[in-house]
Amino acid sequence: MLLHEAIEKYKQYLITMDKSTETIKGYMSDLYSFEFFLEKKHNCPLYIDEIQTVDIEDYLYWLKDERALQPASRSRNLYTLRSFWKYIHNKELCPRNIAMSLEPIRLQKKERVYLSADEAEEFIEAIDHRLIKIVAKTLYYTGMRISECLNLKVTDVDIENQVIHVINGKGKKDRNIPINKNLLLIFKDYLFNIRPKIDSDNFFATKKTGSLSAAYVNRIFQDTAKKLGLQKHVTAHILRHSFASNLIRNGVNLVHVQKLLGHSNLKVTSIYTHANMDDLSQAINVL
């Protein structure tokens, strides 16, 4: 079987397993990149049983040397290839799993970037675009992922009961987020005075398209950060980090933060327990 045919079978498998659209898109991007590399290397399409471990090793080196990808991106590509080969080996489409012997790529753990409460307020107030400013406040006061935020329907935002219903979030999971009292007033004003009267069930909607894209939101965020001269690279995900980090710094129970973020594992949530030099100085001087 040709590699391309196997990739398409794997794609159908991911769809059958109800993987999210973004997950499937990411896996396919990695696998098509691998296919492109192999066809360029061997000057022809390859069959699955012709591919060797050294081909994957060469690909990972190419990602580092030619495309200058960071370790996290190369690690993601390796994860995709391992998942792909596990599938085709289990389906007996290849004689052996050639990805099993590859060692994981070492990742340097970095402190997550986030905005302090004051920085977040300054950043949000500096956004010139009225709708994007409301989106920014929503991200900061709820901790939603940008995809969850922009996929909200009007019926998902229950003003009367003061709760946001996140439907089909990451991992196909639903969760409820109480609406912050500051956000409640903003939502009421948005729904009754700002949101255009159009035939769209998206909560965040423009008059022209009836929707918003994550790329557009992040572009406005980057322009705002540049205008303010911020050294931090501010994205929608940074506002999610900021939500979690500031809750924890204010003493909110880690389990509560986990529930609000929609994490299935408390270990994932623990990455938001930052400690700055002031915290460390205060701790060391307790003795």
- CA atoms within a 13 Å half-sphere pointing along the CA-CB vector of 33: 22
Evaluate whether residue 150 is within a structural domain.
yes
* CATH code of the domain covering residue 194: 1.10.443.10
As a whole number, the mean pLDDT across the chain is 89
The per-residue pLDDT for range 181-237, each reduced to its tens digit, is: 989 999 999 999 999 999 899 999 999 999 999 999 999 999 999 999 988 889 999
Residues 81 and 179 in one domain: no
As a whole number of angstroms, the distance between CA 75 and CA 83 comes to 12
Evaluate whether residue 71 is within a structural domain.
yes
Is the whole-model pTM more than 0.75? Answer: no
- Residues 6+ positions from 263 with CB-CB distance below 8 Å: 269
What residues are paired with 165 via a beta bridge? 176
Tokens found for residue 212:
């918003």
* CATH code of the domain covering residue 62: 1.10.150.130
What residues are paired with 178 via a beta bridge? 163
**166 is in which domain, residue-wise?**
117-274
Evaluate whether residue 41 is within a structural domain.
yes
Residues 13 and 141 in one domain: no
- Alpha helices by DSSP H, listed for the chain, are 3-16, 21-42, 53-65, 71-90, 117-125, 130-142, 146-150, 181-189, 214-228, 236-249, 254-261, 266-269, 277-284
Q: How confident is the model at residue 174 (pLDDT cuts 50, 70, 90)?
A: confident
Single residue among 21, 55, 90 that ends a domain in this structure = 90
Domain count along the chain: 2
Evaluate whether residue 97 is within a structural domain.
no
Read out DSSP for 264-278?
S-HHHHGGG----HH
CB 272 within 8 A of CB 248: yes
As a whole number of angstroms, the distance between CA 215 and CA 220 comes to 9
Tell me the residue length of the chain: 287
